[in-house]
Amino acid sequence: MRRLRARVDLPAGLGTEMVWIPAGAPAELDLRLESVIEGVLVSGTVNAPLQGECARCLEPLSDTAAVELRELFYYADRATDVGDDEDARVLVDDHADIEPVVRDALVLTLPLSPLCRPDCAGLCVDCGARLDEVGDHTHERADPRWAALSTLVDEEPSGRDPAGRGRGQFPGSDV
């Protein structure tokens, strides 16, 4: 068994709009290479820095992606064993091309909704302030649905007996 510890530069553009690996950021590999009958088994961990945007409050965030890796590289003369498996990796000149494996593993591990912290409160729907900074708060402005309703009430001809209003005349205002 061989131990492989290395820092490798990752290609630019890995990630999504929400979370990505910064261009030129190195990944730390800590891998074991084991000779098996079919080829070489590569396993271990990969760590890489992440940058992104919190899905709730849109603040920039940085994190570390940590991935467990386990991949069998087949000897070229064993490659026929894998048949139609297009994902099967094959040693080329006894060389395992680890980069695509690392890349795929990292991309698969990226969070779909990265958060600046697990319980980020997000943004105020009214003013857009970050609730983690300004705290929970309310705005005087009335809910627009109720505002529309009060306009209806105001436009009601004066002098009419309120008791004569039938239920359901004001949708949602049955009180």
- Write out the residues near Zn ion by the rule CB under 5 A: 54, 56-57, 116, 120, 124, 126-127, 129
Residue 32 near residue 4 (C-beta atoms within 8 A): yes
Name the residue nearer to Zn ion (CB basis): 60 or 171: 60
Query: Closest approach of Cβ 118 to Zn ion, in Å?
Result: 10
- Residues 42 and 70: beta-carbon distance below 8 Å: yes
CB of 55 to Zn ion, least distance (A): 8
Element spanning 100, H or E: helix 99-109
Buried b (16+ CB within 10 A) or exposed e, 19-44: bbbbeeeebebebebeeeeebbbbeb
Q: Which two structure tokens, joined as six digits, stand for 114?
A: 């990265």
CA–CA dist 142, 148 (Å, integer)? 10
Query: Smallest gap, in angstroms, from Cβ of residue 121 to Zn ion?
Result: 8
| Closest separation in Å from C-beta 142 to Zn ion | 14
Task: Name which of 36 and 129 has its Cβ closer to Zn ion.
Answer: 129
Of 107 and 131, nearer to Zn ion (C-beta) is 131
Tokens of 1: 């068994």
Question: What DSSP assignment string belongs to 121-169?
Answer: --B-TTT--BHHHH-S---SSPPHHHHHHHHHHHTSPTT--GGGPPTTS
CB of 126 to Zn ion, least distance (A): 4
Comparison of 58 and 91: residue with beta carbon closer to Zn ion: 58
Residue (38 or 59) nearer to Zn ion, CB: 59
